[in-house]
A and B are shown apart, each in its own frame.
Chain A
Amino acid sequence: SQTIHQWPATLVQPVGSPLSLECTVEGTSNPNLYWYRQAAGRGLQLLFYSVGIGQISSEVPQNLSASRPQDRQFILSSKKLLLSDSGFYLCAWSSSGGTDTQYFGPGTRLTVL
């Protein structure tokens, strides 16, 4: 069966510090991968998605970036965090074989102070 991992689970960072969040998927090959952000009391905002290694599509211009160095690894980064980057970050995967259901990881709670 497929599983999706995210780490860290929680993170408290000062403004201006760098960020690296990691997501890995097990039990499937060539998944589509997604990064979402969920701000407090708000819905989900799609940040990035990827259909393959090195292929990243950005949905919202911001100071975040994403990379996919391996087939089942998806990384969300920032060089300098802003207060507005605080939120709950969710990674998700879907099959590249045409099915559309997305399966979500447990999330990372990021607080920028």
Chain B
Amino acid sequence: AQSVTQLGSRVSVSEGALVLLRCNYSSSVPPYLFWYVQYPNQGLQLLLKYTSAATLVKGINGFEAEFKKSETSFHLTKPSAHMSDAAEYFCAVSGRGNQGAQKLVFGQGTRLTINP
């Protein structure tokens, strides 16, 4: 079974500062890992995903994440925060459901606030 833990339900950074959102996973098989972003009253948008290729994954909007197997982590970073980055961020790990459907197990989310 898979599980995800996002450390910190709320993170606040200043505009221009480093963004670091933490995600640790548990998986009995090699995982696929994802970061999604959700703006208020909208659906989830894929930021980036790790599928066992390069361990450093670059995504949209300047975000990137590094897969560290030894630490079972997949932390999301951005060198310089923008006001538009304020949103809820979800980390997810893939599992396998019945009949081959991929199921995603989501963390509880981290709300990112950007201070001017």
Question: Which residue numbers of A lie inside 8 Å of B, CB to CB?
Answer: 32, 34, 42-44, 46, 49-51, 55, 57, 88, 90, 92, 94, 96, 99-107, 109
Partner of A102, one of B100, B102, B109: B102
Jot down 11 A-B pairs with beta carbons below 8 A, ordered by A. A32-B101, A32-B102, A57-B98, A90-B43, A94-B101, A100-B94, A102-B102, A103-B46, A104-B36, A106-B43, A107-B41
Partner of B90, one of A43, A94, A106: A43
**A57 contacts B43, CB within 8 Å?**
no
With A107-B41, A107-B42 as contacts: A57 and B104 at CB distance below 8 Å: no
Q: Is B56 an interface residue (CB 8 A)?
A: no
**B108 contacts A43, CB within 8 Å?**
yes
Partner of A43, one of B32, B51, B109: B109
Q: Is B116 an interface residue (CB 8 A)?
A: no
With A43-B90, A44-B90, A57-B101 as contacts: A104 and B43 at CB distance below 8 Å: yes
Contacts of B103 in A (CB 8 A): 34, 46, 49
**B43 contacts A101, CB within 8 Å?**
no
Partner of A51, one of B44, B46, B99: B99
Looking at chain A's contact residues, the main secondary structure is strand
Contacts of A44 in B (CB 8 A): 44, 90, 106
Contacts of A88 in B (CB 8 A): 41
Given contacts A43-B107, A51-B100, A102-B102, list 13 more A-B pairs with CB under 8 A. A32-B102, A46-B103, A51-B99, A57-B97, A57-B99, A90-B44, A100-B94, A102-B104, A104-B43, A104-B45, A105-B43, A106-B43, A107-B42
Contacts of B98 in A (CB 8 A): 51, 57
In the complex formed, the residue of B with least CB distance to A49 is B101
In the complex formed, the residue of A with least CB distance to B6 is A43
Contacts of B100 in A (CB 8 A): 51, 96
Contacts of B43 in A (CB 8 A): 90, 104-107
| Distance in Å: Cβ of A6 to nearest Cβ of chain B | 8
How far apart sit A100 and B42, CA to CA, in the bound complex (Å)?
21
